[in-house]
Amino acid sequence: MIDSRAAFDRIFIEGMTFMTLIGVLEHEKVQPQPVTVDVILSVMPVQATRTDRLEQTISYAVAYERISQIIQTEHFGLVERLAGSIAEKLLLDHESLMAVTVTIHKPEAPLPGPFTSTGITITRVRGDFGLLTQADLSLGTNLGDRLETLRQAVLHLAGHPQIELVATSSVYETTPVGLLDQPDFLNLVARIRTTLDPFSLLFYCQSLETRFGRERLVRWGPRTLDIDLLTYGHLMTQTAILTLPHPRMQEREFVQVPLRELDSGLAKPTPAVRFTCKLP
């Protein structure tokens, strides 16, 4: 299995030190003591590496202020709970944040002998807190029993424990794009909510393509099943294997027609994208 975390960019802040009330002993509840916090923010590859624009990454200052606010306004008995709260709130705040590692150092813990520090390190992902992100997928096929393939593919998506099927468009028969000498396609768009990160979702879709016999022999050629990840929330990213939003979705009628149906209820078929049926 491919570990999608290897593809993330990592933003880190180390050595943030705060005075706060933390501990379960009575004197720790009234006497502030220092804690030091390190965080590693694992994000989808950020556009700022190309654009130099702050709004296309996670600001150190914003993350610092959020961590400071958590520590200064809440009382925690355990460093474990403090670490968990920081991880959860940072993941809630930032859609592009896929995983966060938090280390808490408590150097003045009440121990009977000499020591350098105590603490904990945790790593949490969006799924640990049930954080769902809406994504749109384009499904297409022009080989075999096309309608049954689409039906089964949607069932597999809905059956994944980290995917919730929100809606599917109608099925449309579409004229091939690129390589014209091949059978017409059946296409639809599936709208889902998921705790999978974009890379993991992509890899799962590719595994479904393989399961249904997809062979990548000719670009734009016939296929038993094709699944494209169109959008993942409002995320914008560009990598060697995944660009979001999908770079060609605006120019593809077989994507735009079913998307319009899901967004507005009005499909407006075209000569190249013809309504066929509702998915059985």
Residue positions annotated with a catalytic role: 214, 223, 226, 228
Separation CA 273–CA 254 (nearest Å): 6
Residues in the chain: 280
Identify the sign of the CA torsion 16, 18, 20, 24.
positive
Give yes or no for a contact between 247 and 230, defined as CB atoms under 8 angstroms apart: no
Q: Please state whether 207 falls in left (phi above 0), alpha (psi between -120 and 50) or beta.
A: alpha
Token pair listed for 17: 């030190």
Give yes or no for a contact between 171 and 187, defined as CB atoms under 8 angstroms apart. Answer: yes
Report the distance separating Cα 87 and Cα 102, nearest Å: 7
Q: Is 126 helix (H, G, I), strand (E, B) or coil?
A: helix
Does residue 255 sit in helix, strand or coil?
helix
Which of 2, 32, 4, 30 lies closest to 17 in space, CA to CA?
A: 32
Run of H or E residues at 97: strand 97-106
